Amino acid sequence: MVYLILVPIALLSFILAVPFVPRDVPTDKMPYDWTGAVLFTLGMTLGLYGFSKMPDVFALGLLIAGLVLLVLFFWYERRASNPLIPVQLILKNRGFTFNNSANLLYYVAIYAMGSLVSMYMTHAWGFTALDRALVVTTQGLILVLFTIVAGKFYDHLLPRWLILSGVVMAVAGGAAAFLLRGPSADPIWLLAAVIAASIAAFGCGSIVLAAIDRLVKNAPSKYATTTGLGIIALGMMLLLTCGAEQAVWTMIAVQALFGVGIAIFVTPNSTAIMNAVTEQEYGMASGTLSTTRMLGMAISIGMMTVLTNLFLGAGVQMGSDHVGEFLMMMHATVLAAIVVLVVGMILSWTADAQSR
């Protein structure tokens, strides 16, 4: 039923697109790379499906078969006249490759966290759907608001008074959280806590970015991308402290850190990727960026599924009897995500600052 809501929106978008969106003018006269498309599709399908069913022996065979097909795909693409994926660009352009790899690892680390945290609050804390939604709203609220500041940071347009206003907001949000004190599952209290945490996080994030902007003249994108991934990793570390007992303020703080980190990372990373290529390579670069995003999401879900199978067993229905095993699985997933984020931070920091 949730997805049915999107059907009329998609139809309306299609109807509006026909008369208002201009037709593409084809610039590529070369034939489509059907061989590469088949190899990539089969390799990804077998590889991801096999990975999600691990540690089953048959799943291992599917995973190996998928990897072999992907190796054949990259071998073929290096020799294709009109490759589906710009392998030569990936091999020769360090800025493009490293920033795309950081984007892939970001999605591997963060994408499954939404469902994982939701399951955790449901089965370990007994939260209702409304309670979970209010807590998770912290991330979305900050993400929507703080993206404005993050974008201005990359364009070097942050106002000088931002540090002072950030301090005011951080203190105001912290004071409001102190006045709220003891956590509660009451929706009104949760809404007030989310607003207080969002104000405090917005202020703290503003201080961080404004300080970098003042200390580093024309700060390149690696300062924002690395900082963003580091803040997300800090949120992951805080999530590791959660157990069977309710820790509502901790979870709200985790969501706040996720929101600030994501807002700081995503836009500068995408811009750095596009700035690393020429105008003629924009199409390939944009397609590769979308591919790494979707691949990262799939791997993230697969990683959580594998760890669920290892700690809980395939097909287990979660309940109060499995909270201990679920916490072990959650902590293992979070630890893996932290390792992935650290690698992503290294790639972001060491990527060449190539321009168009």
Q: Output the pLDDT for position 236.
A: 94
Give the residue carrying structure tokens 């609050």: 121
Q: Output the pLDDT for position 355.
A: 43
* Mean pLDDT estimate for the chain: 84
232-250: b (≥16 Cβ within 10 Å) or e: bbbbbebbeebeeebbbbe
Spell out the domain ranges in the chain: 30-85, 92-350
- Give CA–CA dist 192/181, Å, rounded: 11
At how many degrees (to 10) do helices 34-52 and 57-77 cross?
Answer: 150
- State which amino acid sits at residue 237: M
pTM for this entry: 0.84
Q: What is the mean pLDDT of the segment spanning 283-288?
A: 80
Task: Identify the band that residue 252 occupies on the pLDDT scale cut at 50, 70 and 90.
Answer: very high
Q: What is the mean pLDDT of the segment spanning 141-167?
A: 85
Give the residue carrying structure tokens 């009329």: 8
Q: What is the mean pLDDT of the segment spanning 265-271?
A: 87
CA-only gyration radius of the chain, Å: 22
Give the residue carrying structure tokens 């020769």: 92
Backbone φ, ψ for residue 55 (5° rounding): -95, 30
The CB-side HSE value for 220 (13 A sphere, CA atoms) comes to 15
The CB-side HSE value for 244 (13 A sphere, CA atoms) comes to 9
Q: What is the mean pLDDT of the segment spanning 125-148?
A: 87
Q: Output the pLDDT for position 63.
A: 86
Q: Are 206 and 166 in contact (CB under 8 A)?
A: yes
Q: Are 329 and 310 in contact (CB under 8 A)?
A: yes
Q: What is the mean pLDDT of the segment spanning 272-287?
A: 80
Q: Output the pLDDT for position 317.
A: 56
Task: Identify the band that residue 89 occupies on the pLDDT scale cut at 50, 70 and 90.
Answer: confident
Q: Are 100 and 343 in contact (CB under 8 A)?
A: no
- Give the ranges where the chain is alpha helix by DSSP (H): 6-20, 34-52, 57-77, 87-92, 94-110, 113-123, 129-154, 162-180, 187-215, 221-239, 248-275, 282-311, 323-350
- State which amino acid sits at residue 62: L
Angle at 22 between CA 17 and CA 23, to 5 degrees: 100
End-to-end CA distance of the chain: 45
Which class is domain 92-350?
A: mainly alpha
- Give CA–CA dist 255/88, Å, rounded: 39
3-class SS of residue 317: coil
Q: Are 163 and 206 in contact (CB under 8 A)?
A: yes
- Give CA–CA dist 355/340, Å, rounded: 27
- Closest by CA to 265, choosing from 233, 294, 300, is 233
pLDDT score of 172 more than 90: yes
